[in-house]
Amino acid sequence: MLCACSGEQFKLEEAIPQSPESLATRDFSASGISSRTGNGDWESKLEDAQVDEAESTLKEALSLNYEEARALLGRLEYQRGNFDAALQVFQGIDIRLLSPRMSMAISERTRPRKSRSSRGRNVLTGVMSLHSVSLLLEAMLLKANSLAELGRVKVASSINITTSLMWSVDLCRILDFSLIDNRLSEVVDSIKIANLACHLMWCSFLVANAEAASECKIILDTVESALPCGTYSEINGDSKLLEMFHRALELLPKLWLQAGSVDEAIAAYRRALLRPWNLDPQLLAKVQKDLAATLLYGGVEASIPPESKPIGATFPDSSMEESILLLFILMQKVVYGEIEWDPEIMDHLTFALAMCGEFESLADHVEQVLPGIYNRAERWYFLALCYSAAGQNTTALNLLKKVSGLSESNHKPHLASFLLGAKVCSQDPAESLEGVKFARRVIDASINHNEHMLGQANKFLGICYGNAARKSTSDSERVALHRNSVNSFSHTLRAGIEDPEISFHLGLENAVQRNLALSLNQAMVYSKTSAGSSARGWKLLARVASAEQRLVDAEAIVDLALDETESIEQLELLRLKALVQIAQEQPKQAIETYRILLALIRGQGEILEKSAKKVEAETILELDAWLDLARLYSSHELWLDADICIRKAKATNFYSARTWHETGRLFEAKQQYQDAIAAFALSLSIVPDYVPSIVSTARILMKMSSRSLHIAKSFLMSALRLEPTSHEAWSSLGLVYKMEGSVQQAADAFQAAHELELSAPVQSFL
């Protein structure tokens, strides 16, 4: 830099006229800051030490020319915070005229030497020095900063004025003075004017940043035209030139973002990364991170231009892919210790992979994070979140059990992990009792502390109690668990915690226990709070209506739900509608509904890009549709059509318990009892606790021989332990009692079967 600031001399090879009427002297004399004039104006702008240094520099006529003098004085004004004055000084530098000379200077003075004899070769006469180029580049950089700062100051001042006026209006309304009320309209008009001024100032701010970005872009154009392939090692000798260029590379995209030009900002980031510019590893990582964030949250799809793609190379197809690739590179640098740990990188990567559904990949990157970044509980919790979202609940639960294990007993309870454990367990009936433990730990630690955590814990506690009740084989235990489930939900609602999910699950538990009136009320509450956007809320309403034998209302509810839902939810509702039509003894309408359902499923199958979860759901729906049709046809003794539907179902899923159960029912309807027994046995070999096959096996044994009554009775008692609300099991048990001569027990069984059948929905509540 100049001797005035850094002790370095800036000398040109070309001689500068020593006449007092030179361009620089005339300019500074006209500006009133020449050393031959008074010092009043100078002292009003510069510190005393800076004045002495500037004057001593100006006296050395050969040390700088017109542009360098303006660059020096502009820098001094900028350092004092006089951005307007600095901008006026920088405006006198015609950088576009100087840019070709600067490019030639950089190119000539950084050209690699080919031999030892060429080391002493002088550069061409008239070529600027790198110090002069650095000073002018710095001037352009400070000019861009000045423009941005001036725009920011104007916007801030206009916002302050508007805020003050709004406070004045609020004060007028609070005090309610008649004198102030008379002037309230004037203040409101002033606010409108101030808002308009704010809008204009904001537009001015955008324009100022766009102009600043254009000035900054000149720096990059100048250097890139001199070094089209990036920087050589020779340029490292002038660290100031590199510093100015690197600062321009970092500043340009920020200015474009402040100007609202996201596309230009992305292009500027890519420009900084396209060539080797000897960037510091931390600065390079920062540019990569900022580019990834802009691609993620910028709201634009900025494809890589063809000229930036080498032939034969593979490039990302979208902004999301490019962002993820950049974040992968940054995470690899963190793992190898090339850059310091930055939590923002993991935050951006988490968002990007979550949006793409790549939770397993996210878990892999979390596992690569070096020890010490996260403590053990946080790491296990993060990994459990990833695996749970990926559908690997068993892996997630094993990690969460570590958080609640003995190794963490001396640490502060990690409530988020316990709550996640309760949620994961609530989705798996086999882990319901473990979920109760997780929820209890959250409740015990959250009393009088966190209302939200307490409400969520009670919700999951109620779900786990309900799942445990359905898995229990003891009547007394089942009743107690059901009661605890309802009490947990009711306690949460009484505490004033508003959560639609609680209303839904409370309605579901009441429906399972056949408390249909209470279930209907909670289902209505859930539908209102969810604004009718939840398909499972509509399905619960329709099932409860069908259980109350209001089949017309149930079909109307399904028709209404079909207009409010989409995708896979509509397919599930179509199947429910067909079942309601079958219950109304409308087989033709039901067959037509199934035809539409299967056609939609076939149409969805032609879509290539679908998640595995959606494909599985569609396969299950297709299987159920064929099996429902098989039962419908067999009930009307249309054996050929029923057999075709069974074959279609087997082609969809051969190893399905329900497929073989419906096969056995078809054999039973044809009175082929041996084949029916074999089919039911296959069904039970796939799912040993499949209640419909257990009941059907008992019914076949009763028909085949009266000597098998005790075996049939054993089957039916097992079915009732698994599903106490099965009216078919109670009816078959009544027949067994009747054949044994136990009239009273038979009557009780028939009575239970009748009452349960009257409150049975067309489709299971669960």
Q: Are 246 and 98 part of one and the same domain?
A: yes
Within a domain: 208: yes
Same domain, 279 and 357: yes
Provide, rounded to the nearest whole percent, the portion of the chain with pLDDT above 70: 80
Average pLDDT over residues 273-296: 91
Determine, yes or no, domain membership for 136: yes
> Is the pLDDT at 763 greater than 70, yes or no?
yes
Does residue 521 sit within a domain? no
Do 270 and 246 lie in one domain? The reply is no
Report the range out of 439-448, 486-495, 732-741 with the highest average pLDDT.
732-741
CA distance 665 to 112: 89
Q: What is the C-alpha to C-alpha distance for residues 562 and 568, in angstroms, rounded to an integer?
A: 11
Residue 733: its pLDDT value, please? 92
Q: Give the pLDDT score at 105.
A: 85
Confidence of residue 186 (pLDDT cuts 50, 70, 90): low
Looking at residue 266, its pLDDT comes to 93
pLDDT for 37:
35
pLDDT at 363: 93
The answer to whether 547 and 733 are in contact (CB under 8 A) is no
Alpha carbon distance 525, 510 (integer Å):
14
Mean pLDDT of all residues in 358-370: 91
pLDDT at 295: 93
pLDDT at 7 > cutoff 60: no
- d(CA 556, CA 554) in angstroms, rounded, equals 5
Q: Distance between CA atoms of 254 and 722, rounded to whole angstroms?
A: 65
CB 126 within 8 A of CB 14: yes
Intra-chain end-to-end CA distance of the chain, in Å:
78
Whether 340 is in a domain gets the answer yes
CA distance 288 to 282: 10
- Do 561 and 531 meet the contact criterion of CB atoms below 8 Å apart? no
**Spatial CA neighbour of 598 closest among 650, 645, 546, 647:** 645
pLDDT, residue 120, reads 45
Contact between residue 462 and residue 485 where contact means Cβ atoms under 8 Å apart: yes
pLDDT at 27 over 70: no
Cα(696)–Cα(729) distance, integer angstroms = 9
The predicted structure's pLDDT at residue 406 = 66
Structural domain count, the chain = 2
| Together in a domain, 144 and 271 | no
As a whole number, mean pLDDT of residues 668-681 equals: 91
pLDDT mean over 428-453: 84
Q: Are 308 and 276 in contact (CB under 8 A)?
A: no
Residue 709: the pLDDT is: 87
| 746 band by pLDDT with thresholds 50, 70 and 90 | very high
DSSP-H helix ranges across 176-313:
178-182, 184-226, 239-258, 262-274, 281-297
**CB-CB neighbours of 689 under 10 Å:** 14
Within 13 Å and on the Cβ side, how many CA atoms surround 38? 3
* Mean pLDDT calculated for residue range 19-40: 35
> Of 356, 373, 390, which residue constitutes the final position of a domain?
373
> Would you say residue 345 lies in a domain?
yes
* Cα 302 to chain centroid, rounded: 20
My answer on whether 220 and 270 are in the same domain is: no
Residues 6 or more apart in contact with residue 112 via CB below 8 angstroms: 232, 233, 234
The structure's pTM equals 0.75
Mean pLDDT of 45-60: 46
For 201-208, what is the mean pLDDT?
A: 74
Looking at every residue in the chain, the average pLDDT score rounds to 81
- Residue given tokens 């039911």 in the structure block: 680
Between 518 and 18, the more confident residue is 518
| 204 and 342 housed in the same domain | no
Measured CA angle at 284 (ends 279, 286), to 5 deg: 140
Closest CA to 438 of 452, 411, 456: 456
Residue 496 forms part of a structural domain? no
- Mean pLDDT on 604-622: 77
CA distance 546 to 557: 10
CB 379 within 8 A of CB 399: no
Is residue 476 very low, low, confident or very high in pLDDT (cuts 50, 70, 90)? confident
C-beta neighbour count of 454 within 10 angstroms: 20
Mean pLDDT throughout 423-442?
A: 91
- State residue 164's pLDDT score: 53
For residues 279 and 326, membership in a common domain is answered with yes
71 and 210: one domain? Answer: yes
**What number of residues does the chain have?**
766
Q: What is the mean pLDDT of residues 38-44?
A: 41
* Contact partners, residue 602, CB within 8 Å, separation at least 6: none
pLDDT bracket for residue 197 (50, 70, 90)? low
Name the 3-class secondary structure at 705.
coil
Give me the mean pLDDT over the 704-720 stretch.
Answer: 88
Comparing C-alpha atoms, which of 393, 394, 413, 395 is closest to residue 403?
A: 413
Q: What is the pLDDT of residues 317-362, one digit of tens each?
A: 888 999 999 999 999 999 998 999 999 999 999 999 999 889 999 9
Residues in contact with 604: Cβ distance below 8 Å, sequence separation at least 6, in sequence order: 571, 610, 618
pLDDT exceeds cutoff 80 at 503: yes
pLDDT for 236 equals: 57
Asked which of 345, 373, 401 is the last residue of a domain, the reply is 373
**Same domain assignment for residues 98 and 199:** yes
Q: What phi and psi values does residue 390 have, to the nearest 5 degrees?
A: -80, 0
Least confident of 117-126, 150-159, 394-403: 117-126
pLDDT at residue 436 is higher than 70 = yes
Amino acid at 474: S
Residues 34 and 154 in one domain: yes
Same domain for 346 and 282, yes or no, is: yes
Q: What is the mean pLDDT of residues 207-231?
A: 86
Rg (CA), the chain: 40
**CA angle, 299 then 305 then 309, to 5°:** 125
Structure tokens at 509: 């538990």
How do residues 546-588 score in pLDDT, each as one tens digit?
A: 999 999 999 999 988 888 877 788 888 999 999 999 999 999 9
Determine the residue type at 418: F
What pLDDT is stored for residue 500 in this prediction?
A: 85
Q: Residue 730 class from Cβ within 10 Å (0-12 exposed, 13-18 middle, 19+ buried)?
A: buried
pLDDT at 404: 80
Per the CB < 8 A criterion, the answer to whether 141 and 251 are in contact is yes
Cα–Cα dist 220/331, whole Å: 29
Tokens coding 679: 């089919």
In the chain, the amino acid numbered 231 is T
Q: Percent of the chain scored above 90 by pLDDT? A: 34
Mean pLDDT of 649-675: 91
Whole-number Å distance between alpha carbons of 341 and 493: 44
Stronger pLDDT, 458 or 60, i.e. the higher one: 458
SS3 for 136-184 is HHHHHHHHHHHHHHHHHHHHHHHHHHHHHHHHHHHHHHHHCCHHHHHCH
Cα 64 from Cα 529, distance rounded (Å)? 75
pLDDT surpassing 50 at residue 47: no
**Upper half-sphere CA count for residue 665 (Cβ side, 13 Å):** 23
Contact (CB, 8 A) for 366 and 382: yes
Other C-beta atoms closer than 10 Å to the C-beta of 389 total: 17
Q: How far is CA 345 from CA 330, 352, 366, in A?
A: 7, 11, 12
Q: Which ranges constitute the DSSP H helices of 31-129? A: 40-45, 48-59, 66-79, 83-90, 95-109
What domain range is 360 assigned to? 262-304+316-373
pLDDT at 8: 38
Q: How confident is the model at residue 682 (pLDDT cuts 50, 70, 90)?
A: very high
614 domain residue, yes or no? no
Highest mean pLDDT (candidates 20-29, 182-191, 409-418, 634-643): 634-643
- Shared-domain flag, residues 24 and 158: yes
pLDDT band at 232 (very low <50, low <70, confident <90, very high): low
Distance CA 395, CA 383 (A): 9
pLDDT of 40 reads: 41
Report residue 407's pLDDT band, with 50, 70 and 90 as the boundaries. low
Specify the pLDDT at position 582: 93
Instruction: Give residue 337's identity as a one-letter amino acid code.
Output: G
140-171 pLDDT, tens digit each: 999 988 888 887 766 555 555 555 545 444 44
- Which of 353, 373, 393 is the last residue before a domain boundary? 373
Phi/psi of residue 506, nearest 5 degrees: -65, -40
* SS3 of the chain: helix, strand, coil, percent, to 5: 75, 0, 25
Any domain includes 7: yes
Q: What's the confidence (pLDDT) of residue 51?
A: 37
The pLDDT, as a whole number, for residue 225 is 87
60: number of Cβ within 10 Å: 12
What local confidence, expressed as pLDDT, does residue 187 receive?
A: 54
Q: Report whether pLDDT(638) > 70.
A: yes
Residue whose token pair is 């209505």: 524
